[in-house]
Amino acid sequence: MKRVVFNQKGGVGKSSITCNLAAISAARGAKTLVVDLDVQGNSSHYLGYEPDQPGNGSVADFLDQRSGFFSVEKAPAEFVHATPFENLYLLPASPKLAHIEKDLESRYKIYKLRDALVELAKDYEEIYIDTPPNLNFYSKSALIAAEELLIPFDCDSFSLQALHLLLENVFELKSDHNQALEVGGIVVNQYQGQARLPRQLIEAMQGEQLPIYNTFLPASVKMKESHSLRKPLPHMAARHKLTLQFELLHDDVMEGRHLRVEDEPVEQEPAEQSA
């Protein structure tokens, strides 16, 4: 399955959610690929990639290839790197993504990632795509290439507005370019069950019948620690509350389990109590 994690709002947890869901898929035995389309390269860094690592190149090198009279393009698999984690592979980002974006756009390369992922899906059971925090050439390429969209949501008052705009853009893109794209669900991140605003926002989304995954992710300092140690949560804190919630979220994503309109958002203890 090809899943894209996207929200044009910055800092909502796209990279954290991409890498941890991918790490869980991989730990459960599925050969898994993370594609990092964000020039910031946070997912690549998190999964242990060093930009000056010899060989292979990045997703930018793949997209930027030109086939000439005497040369053929290299297959996308040649740009994939192993990570330190079993079954988990990476098609890394690079600062070069910023420099080649306009050129790729003018050369109509918006479908190149889709075609590459059709090839790679023959070898990788689960593919997760991390995207930049704006609707640019790369996030559009990802939405065209994917079958399912996961939308991280951070329960902030601007988020609901951003979500409506996002859904409008996604439905337009779906009808013009990728009929196969489905909204898998909204991932509620950094949820504070005791505060009023997050509960009101969730109720508003339930009222609009938006598909919200059952399991909410609490805020925890373990997330930042996990980033700085460059180890996804299942490899760093296997029994921590946040990791366990990620495992449940992974099941929701695999099985398409959503909150029902009448469900109360689950009351959550702060994650640190079980650290």
Ligand X SMILES: Nc1ncnc2c1ncn2[C@@H]1O[C@H](COP(=O)(O)OP(=O)(O)OP(=O)(O)O)[C@@H](O)[C@H]1O
* 42 counts as binding Mg ion under rule CB under 5 A: yes
Question: Would you say 42 or 206 has its CB closer to Mg ion?
Answer: 42
Which window, 10-18, 57-65, 154-162, 220-228, contacts Mg ion (CB under 5 A)? 10-18
Residue from the set 83, 178, 190, 243 that interacts with ligand X by CB under 6 A: 190
Q: Which does 109 bind (CB under 5 to 8 A by kind): ligand X, Mg ion, none?
A: none
Residue from the set 63, 104, 127, 217 that interacts with ligand X by CB under 6 A: 217
Question: Would you say 36 or 247 has its CB closer to Mg ion?
Answer: 36
| Residue 102 tokens, joined | 């306009």
Q: Which does 12 bind (CB under 5 to 8 A by kind): Mg ion, ligand X, none?
A: ligand X
Smallest separation, CB 158 to ligand X (Å): 14
Q: How far is CA 111 from the centre of its chain?
A: 19
The letter for the amino acid at 94 is: S
Question: Would you say 67 or 146 has its CB closer to ligand X?
Answer: 146
Distance CA 30, CA 250 (A): 13
Residue from the set 20, 32, 36, 38 that interacts with ligand X by CB under 6 A: 38
Distance CA 226, CA 13 (A): 13
Q: Which does 227 bind (CB under 5 to 8 A by kind): ligand X, Mg ion, none?
A: ligand X
- What HEC string does 75-131 produce? CHHHHCEECCCCCEEEECCCCHHHHHHHHHHHCCCCCHHHHHHHHHCCCCCEEEEEC
Helices (H), the chain: 14-27, 42-46, 59-63, 96-106, 112-120, 137-145, 159-177, 196-207, 221-229, 233-236, 241-255
Smallest separation, CB 12 to Mg ion (Å): 9
Question: Would you say 118 or 165 has its CB closer to ligand X?
Answer: 165
Residue from the set 58, 178, 220, 243 that interacts with ligand X by CB under 6 A: 220
* 15 counts as binding Mg ion under rule CB under 5 A: yes
| Residue 239 tokens, joined | 């029994």
**Residue 195: partners with Cβ closer than 8 Å, 6 or more residues away:** none
Site residues for Mg ion per CB under 5 A: 14-15, 42
